[in-house]
Homo-oligomer: A and B are copies of this chain.
Amino acid sequence: MARAVLTEAELDVALASLNGWAKSPERPAIHKAYRFKNFVEAFGFMTKVALLAEKLDHHPEWSNVYRTVEITLTTHDSKGVTELDVILATQVEALLA
């Protein structure tokens, strides 16, 4: 069964606890751009996120250019942002805490 899409109010509450995460302007998703010292740091971070994502069975849409990593989260099955996206974003933030 697909997860329930968060209401705008629920999403606003979730984003208030997710530093730097914001609603994507063009689609129902949330995103954040991370910047690191260099490529090794950036890809090291991606490796950790990949393991979290695989464990959750919920995967990001993401891109990397040298020391930047942009992550977009959405739940395709639900056609919107769900609790799963908030969980993954929270775990990603915890990596950097």
Contact = CB atoms under 8 A, between A and B. Distances in A.
A8 B62 CA distance: 31
A97 to B, nearest CB: 23
A24 to B, nearest CB: 14
B59 A50 contact: no
Contact of A54 (B40, B54, B63): B40
A63 B43 CA distance: 12
Interface residues of A, number: 16
Interface string A48-66: 0010011000011111111
A47 interface: yes
A63 B62 contact: yes
